[in-house]
Amino acid sequence: MWKNLSLLHLYKLIYSHLHCYQHQAFEDFGASIFSEGMAPGIESSEGNNKMSKGYQYPSWKKKLTGLVVDNEELCRMVEKGIMGLCGVETQAVETGEAAVELIASGATFDIIVIDRFLPSMTGPETARKMREMGVESKIIGLFALYFEGDEEEFVAAGVDDFKEKPLSPNWLVPMLRELDN
Amino acid sequence: MERNHLPRHLVLQRQSLFDQGLLDEQFIQLEELQDDANPNFVEEVVTSYYQNTSTLIVIIEQALGTSPLDFNKLDGYMYQLKGSSSSFGAKKVKADCTLFREYCKAGNVEGCMRTFQQLKKEYASLKRKLEAYFQLARQARVTGTASRPK
């Protein structure tokens, strides 16, 4: 299935659900990968299998969904891209408030990655709010530079892990395997 | 085109980016995610990086021109730049961001200035080298051959 699905179509589906900014660089990026035309639709009931020349990801038994919460545009783009290419149907938002709103509207996610620094609601505050709302997803706190007390704050907020950026495929795939099982 | 079918001089050029410490494992992992249907993911990330961070570099330079320096603000800018740089494996730029940050924490103005000049050089150098690499890689994919050095 995934052999016949181009990245182009995957991004189309993901971006159509994004709470997203409008920025020329982002649009240029989107335009470049949307230039090839549409591919057949996703059959989501049987899981996802991504074969690339380097990696062979396991065939997920269920449809995995993810949420990226990162105010930094490029980080958000790359994290969403990596999760998507690893077979996770991913949305991305810029703020903690947007993430909470998404969840309050009924969206559910298997994995949520949250950056430490968000504009008003911080990363830990966002994670805490999600747990208070009953979110049981795997929540990962990400940081680019470490500040004293960050890890304690994230852990106290209820995250499952706390990791320095970047979000790497080698780190992500074993976690997805756990979620799939 | 599979990486192991790249022409030799392109392989060597790519390897030099790692040997010089300019790129790290993240770049390799992102390349591995690419396939024949989507061969340009990494190049698109790098292009977006330089589009997005060029303004940030100017902002940091302007902030370094003020007196006294606002180290908290500089710390915040460096958080953004380091996060973006690490996303595709820009190892040296990432290291310079970390060093700059240490000077910020210490309130060391000269250290910040010096490190930022170094960072700008690495940032620009990496851009030139990656642009050259991606251009050759695209040509090699299109032609299926490479212009080998004589």
Answer yes or no: do B45 and A74 touch at CB < 8 A.
yes
Answer yes or no: do A77 and B76 touch at CB < 8 A.
no
Nearest to B32 among A7, A24, A54 (CB): A54
Answer yes or no: do A144 and B83 touch at CB < 8 A.
yes
How confident is residue B21, by pLDDT bands cut at 50, 70 and 90? very high
Answer yes or no: do B83 and A165 touch at CB < 8 A.
yes
How confident is residue A9, by pLDDT bands cut at 50, 70 and 90? very low
Task: Give A49 to chain B, closest Cα distance, Å.
Answer: 13
ipTM of the prediction greater than 0.90, yes or no? no
How many Cα atoms sit within 13 Å of B9 on the Cβ side? 10
What is the per-residue pLDDT across A18-46, written as a single tens digit (0 to 9) for each? 433 333 333 333 333 323 222 222 222 22
Task: Give A131 to chain B, closest Cα distance, Å.
Answer: 26
User: Which pLDDT value is given to residue A58?
Assistant: 55
Answer yes or no: do B41 and A7 touch at CB < 8 A.
yes
Kindly identify which residue of chain B lies nearest to residue A8, measuring between CA atoms.
B38
- Whether this prediction's pTM lies above 0.80 is answered by no
* Amino acid type, A70: D
- Residue whose entry in the numeric block shows the structure tokens 């990026």: A29
What's the distance, CA A176 to chain centroid? 12
Strands of A58-168 (E only): list them: 64-69, 88-93, 111-115, 138-143, 161-164
Residue that wins the pLDDT comparison between B19 and A181: B19
Q: How far apart are CA A83 and CA A34, in angstroms?
A: 18
User: Which pLDDT value is given to residue A57?
Assistant: 55
**How much of chain B exceeds pLDDT 70, in percent?**
91
Task: Give B38 to chain A, closest Cα distance, Å.
Answer: 6
